[in-house]
Amino acid sequence: MKKKMLHTFGAVAAAVIMLASCGNPSTETQATSAAGTAGAGTTAVQTEAAGTAEGKDSVIVTMPTTSEPESGFDPAYGWGAGEHVHEPLIQSTLTVTTKDLKIEKDLATDYQMSEDGLTWTVKIRDGVMFTDGEKLTASDVAFTYNNVKEKSTVNDFTMLKEAVAVDDTTVEFHMEKPYSIWPYTMAIVGIVPEHAYDESYGQHPIGSGRYIMKQWDKGQQVIFEANPDYYGEQPKMKKVTVLFMEEEAALAAAQAGQVDVAHTAASYSDLSLDGYSLFSVASVDNRGFNLPATKAEEKDGLLVGNDFTSDPAVRKAINIGINREEMIQNVLNGHGTPAYSICDKMPWYNPDSEVSYDPEAAVKLLEEAGWTAGSDGIREKDGVRAEMTLMFSSGDSVRQALAEDTANQLKALGISVKTEGVGWDVAYDRAQSEPLVWGWGAHTPMELYNIYHSKAETGLAEYSPYANETVDRYMDQALETDLEGSYGLWQKAQWDGATGVTQDGDIPWIWLCNVDHLYFVRDGLTVADQKIHPHGHGWSIVNNVDEWDWK
């Protein structure tokens, strides 16, 4: 890998320089000089070509190529509210999440839920302007939400019946059913201008947020500049350039001194880069696998359930028979935390989810349940062997390593695990009968609902397949109460002292680790304190880029 990196180093460095300097002739001249010296290891001129060359108010950041929004910067198609949840930068949101993942107001000055939970009334700031000079009103808010309800292909808005502008500063959200966690949805939907919205909006977005998108070179970079008419505090970083790169290219760019923040992986975390330090961000970006909780049967031509993992004793033994700390050291080079749920560290997390690594107790559970070891060391019960296939998405080295580490650890318990890389085109069907390594984690309790509720619109519970009426009821009640009161109910859905989805309950999923998000950051740049990152090593890092500073 390192040999390949050296061969591509000069080309990558030159490409980065040209991208970062687009539209700035003086910087481009410096960049050309830097490209010429890249192979010789000279960094003085290269540093000048980076974002800092234009002054102490710009920054160049790399992100994975998967972070580039395919459909543009349009909230209707996932910008801000897609798989990689983040604040949309260009557009303002009604609310925002705090560092402890509670809710604060942004465009909204007040919001109230009706007693029956079917109407949310939101007052918005008066005098907020879009970047085309037009005033933002409640009509724009209503239009935005009705639009995402109609068009969104990445988020569930089925709970919303209709958004209505009551007057210029008041909007009502009429719900199909009570939805206490609506403020978390309001924190990720960027408001778009009704008068300037069409099918090409995502390519040339207009908003009222902290930044204006000035340039987008698809497949390469996007450049943001501070919005001079922003209603809040003016950003310290006046220009933010985002380069879309694979990990190797991002590392080469940092080695060349051509970027200020480069995303990286645990496999590169031991490298020492002159002028940079490693920056680690805690996450709820978890990895785990489903364990089908019913016996195998054919439904509509598809195999559902698994005779081995349907035994609760098996699932409990696996959960306490995995040494998560060892796995984090082996696979993530120490850059992660043990995961015990899909919502570790969130306000609605139940600490009763945590378990201790106890292989002796795991073996005892299996033996008491009748799983006895055969001559080959693999257990068996009533003609069923203690074996399973653990799938992972092809090309994902971390998920593959986690699967293989799991297989090695479970072999000591007398469980045979075959690992297999699969494409997503077959993974979803096969996961209804075989475990699959997944990645989850979001700043909303709906992540819990989607995984465990038997009637979730997403249908994700089918991958257990799992259904528990008590768990369903707690989550239904959580949606019907007020936001603060819902946290305790979400926690009870995990474990109420008698049932739930944790070790002493049904345990239909095994959670392994939360992956730290790692970056090489240029010396002298202060990256503001980060919220716990959700799933996806992308836009979350720049959620508060307006607060970053150069020393």
- Position 81 scores a pLDDT of 67
State how far the alpha carbon of 108 is from the alpha carbons of 100, 134, 460, in Å. 20, 18, 33
CB 229 within 8 A of CB 94: no
Sheet strands (E) in 305-405: 336-338, 372-373, 379-381, 384-385, 387-393
User: Which pTM value belongs to this model?
Assistant: 0.88
CA dist 207 and 190 (Å) reads: 8
Phi-psi region of 398 (alpha: psi -120 to 50; beta: other; left: phi over 0): alpha
Q: For residue 206, how many other CB atoms are within 10 A of its CB?
A: 19
CA distances from 339 to 329, 501, 516 (A): 14, 14, 12
Q: Tell me which residue has tokens 């991002």.
A: 250
Integer distance in angstroms from the first to the last C-alpha of the chain?
Answer: 35
User: Which of 276, 279, 278, 280 lies closest to 524, judged by CA?
Assistant: 276
At CA 427, angle to CA 426 and CA 432, rounded to 5? 110
8-state DSSP, 116: T
In this predicted structure, what is the pLDDT of residue 462?
Answer: 66
Q: Please identify every stretch of the chain with a pLDDT value under 50, giving residue numbers as ranges.
A: 1-18, 20-54
Pair of tokens at residue 254: 């940092």
